[in-house]
């Protein structure tokens, strides 16, 4: 058992080693924080549902490298997102800016929510009306009872 565990550990270590951990030296803590924010917010264009901090795609590695390089040149966070979206479009930003081309993206969820509420209310109202129609009023019940009564009287007379 011990041997098995040891071999698993060794295999995992080898895997980590093969993955290659990138080490960047930042000028200060603030710069490192901006870097962390950026790599979380930039989308990997190769594995499109990952950000570049999670992706091991080669392009993502190079985009991280580029991000560091731009930071060291003294570029701000806004300038770097601008740099990336000029090249890869708003798609590269996990949080796209609100503008004409992305308005649908931002508004659609709320619009769908409102439509859903409206449909729900309409259905509820329609159902209520249907129930009211099918229910008999007290007068109608009395009328039906007397009709049945008179019919059975007739039946008893004829028989």
In angstroms, the Cα distances linking 109 to 45, 94, 103, 118 are 25, 17, 11, 14
- Given the rule CB under 8 A, which of 6-14, 27-35, 59-67, 130-138 is the region that contacts another protein? 59-67
Q: Establish if 128 lies at the interface with another protein (CB under 8 A).
A: no
Q: Establish if 63 lies at the interface with another protein (CB under 8 A).
A: yes
| Least distance between another protein and beta carbon 90 (Å) | 9
- Given the rule CB under 8 A, which of 42-50, 73-81, 108-116, 140-148 is the region that contacts another protein? 42-50
Residue with tokens 């129609």, as numbered in its chain: 133
Q: Establish if 86 lies at the interface with another protein (CB under 8 A).
A: yes
Q: Which residues contact 32 (CB under 8 A, 6 or more apart)?
A: 26
- Name which of 118, 39, 105 is nearest 77 in CA terms: 39
| Given 36, 65, 128, 142, the residue binding another protein (CB under 8 A) | 65
| Least distance between another protein and beta carbon 45 (Å) | 3
Length of the chain: 159
Total residues contacting another protein by CB under 8 A comes to 15
Residues 3-22 that bind another protein (CB under 8 A): none
Rounded CA separation 67/137 (Å):
76
- Name which of 111, 113, 81 is nearest 97 in CA terms: 81
The contact set with another protein (CB under 8 A) reads 45-46, 48, 58-59, 62-63, 65-66, 85-89, 91
């Amino acid at each position: 058992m011990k041997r098995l565990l040891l071999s698993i550990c060794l295999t995992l270590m080898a895997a980590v080693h093969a993955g290659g951990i990138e080490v960047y030296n930042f000028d200060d803590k603030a710069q490192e924080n901006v870097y962390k924010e950026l790599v979380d917010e930039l989308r990997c264009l190769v594995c499109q549902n990952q950000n570049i901090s999670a992706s091991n795609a080669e392009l993502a590695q190079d985009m991280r490298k580029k991000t560091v390089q731009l930071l060291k040149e003294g570029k701000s966070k806004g300038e770097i997102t601008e740099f990336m979206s000029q090249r890869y479009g708003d798609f590269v930003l996990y949080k796209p800016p609100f503008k004409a081309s992305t308005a649908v993206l931002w508004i659609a969820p709320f619009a769908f929510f409102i439509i859903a509420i409206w449909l729900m209310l309409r259905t509820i109202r329609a159902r209520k009306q249907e129930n009211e129609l099918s229910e008999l009023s007290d007068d109608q019940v009395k009328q039906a009872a007397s009709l049945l009564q008179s019919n059975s009287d007739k039946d008893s007379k004829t028989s």
